[in-house]
Every structure is written in structure tokens, then in C-alpha cells.
Amino acid sequence: MSTRIETRFAAVKAEGRAALVTFVMGGDPGYESSLEILKALPEAGADLIELGMPFSDPMADGPPIQAAGLRALKAGQTLKKTLGLVAEFRKTDKDTPLVLMGYYNPIYIYGVDAFLKDANAAGVDGLIVVDLPPEEDAELCLPAIKAGLNFIRLATPTTDDKRLPAVLENTSGFVYYVSVTGITGAATPDFNAVSQAVARIKRHTTLPVAVGFGVKTADHARAVAEGADGVVVGSALVETVRLSLDKEARATEKTVSSVTKLVRELAAGVRSGRPVAAE
């Protein structure tokens, strides 16, 4: 049986376009406003959603996502509450794939078995855990696969052909290609180099390849969509949340609408990025 992630990528491919993957931080700027944002994303044009698990030491993230995580933690967000967001989302949306993204420490503290059981019950489709390399697959990756969750791995510009098979070995759902070396949202990718890198990864796998880090505008999304199966946008969205908040970092009437406006623009960019017939 196909997973929600596989089904969605197949549907998008049949439309002859790339998927828009949107990242938002769970619990940012507060639980209720975070849920409102989450529920609004699919209608605005998000094909898949990555939901951040807030963590106090997010080493791969740039200032916007770090700040989003800290806002969420300050507002009382926990991993249990993040799973609660997923469960609430699933009450009205049974189809949009939802992936939890973050670091191993909160999962380790929660307890791997308990976490996988609760994630499954909530309706999580996959995990991206950025600080667990393939050498640590027994920690979480293999148990997650056994529990029926996709485990999505990151490949980077420094992942050479020798390293790639190890990265891909237990990866499922899609491959997340990090288009720049460094932290999230820090630089604009070289779109020509990205296209070449995606082609190289595809020589090693039949999985869809989604590209993220540094994609901020509809034009960026359009450029990436020409060579990738998916375009991931995160920092630009959490920065849009930040700019909509009041002086106490609380949501305002602009918060949800400013996020959905940007998602609509990005979706239009992705949908214009590859005017080709489906294979």
C-alpha cells in the first residue's frame, strides 16, 4: 500500500510539475495560531507539510528557524503538543502528507517506542531527523520504518557518490537535497548546480528529490522546480510569521493571511516551473 507521501508525489508528477513542500514550526507563535496556519497551508497550495519539532539547540538552522523554535518553546510547546497539532490537523485533512522535522534529542527523551506509537496514532507520515547519520540507523530510522513511517534523509553538496549509497540505503518517501552548504536560509542556491546535483542523486535512486535551504521567493521556487521533484520552503515562511507578530511576539490578524499569501505565490512559482507533460 502506498504511503501518503508516495501518493502525493505520484499525483504531482502526473500533473507534470514539482511539489511544494512547506515548513512551519510546531507551536509558533502559539499552539492555536500554529494549528490555524497548519490547517490553511494545503488550500493555499502546499502539497506536503514539514512540521518543526522545537528544540533549544538547532545546530543546522539559521536565525529565522532558531527564533521560531524559541518562540514556540517560550509559548509552552512540547513534542507531545506537536503530535497534538498533527492529530488536530488530521481531523479535517486525511490526505496531505505531514512530516516531522527536527533533532533526535526530544525524541530520545520522549522514548523512541512511545514516540513512534504516538506519531503513528496522530497521523504523521514521515520523519526528518537532521542529526542522525546513517551509521545510527538502529537508533530511530529502522524502528520508524518498521512502524510504517517514511524516514527521509538529507543529501548535501558534500555528499559524494561514495557516500550517497549509505545515505540512500534506508531512505524512503523522498530525498531532501540541501542546496547550500551551511545553515538554513543563509544563502541563495546556485540553481544550475542544484539541477546537476539532483540529476546525480537520481542516478542512484528512484525516489523523488526535493530541494530546500535558501528558497525564498516564487522566482526561486520556479527555478528549483525546473530540475527537482519538490521545492522546500521554510525560513521564508517562519520569517513571515515573525514579521506579522505584535510586540509581545503574539499572533495578529495578519499572521495566517501573510503566510498563506506567500504560500500561494510560491505555489504559483512551482506550478509554472516545469511546463512539460507528465511522463
Please check whether residue 191 is in contact with residue 217, taking contact to mean a CB–CB distance below 8 angstroms.
no
Q: Which of 6, 28, 47, 61 is catalytic?
A: 61
- Plot region of 134 (φ>0 → left; ψ -120 to 50 → alpha; else → beta): alpha
Please give the backbone phi and psi of residue 143, each rounded to the nearest 5 degrees, phi first.
-60, -35
Between CA 182 and CA 37 the distance in angstroms is 28
Q: Which of 6, 28, 47, 50 is catalytic?
A: 50
Is residue 206 packed enough to be buried (19+ CB in 10 Å), middle (13-18) or exposed (0-12)?
exposed
* 50 is an active site residue: yes
* 61 is an active site residue: yes
Between CA 77 and CA 198 the distance in angstroms is 35
Rounded to a whole number of angstroms, the CA Rg of the chain reads 17
Residue 272: enclosing H or E segment and its boundaries?
none
The DSSP secondary structure of 121-185, one letter per residue, reads HHT--EEEETT--GGGTTTTHHHHHHTT-EE--EE-TT--TTTHHHHHTT--S-EEEE-SSSSTT
Between CA 161 and CA 204 the distance in angstroms is 9
- The strand pairing partners of 178, in sequence order, are 212
**DSSP label of 195:** H
Minimal CA–CA distance to 268: which of 198, 234, 219, 235? 219
**DSSP label of 227:** T
Cell 521560531 belongs to which residue? Answer: 68
State the catalytic residues. 50, 61
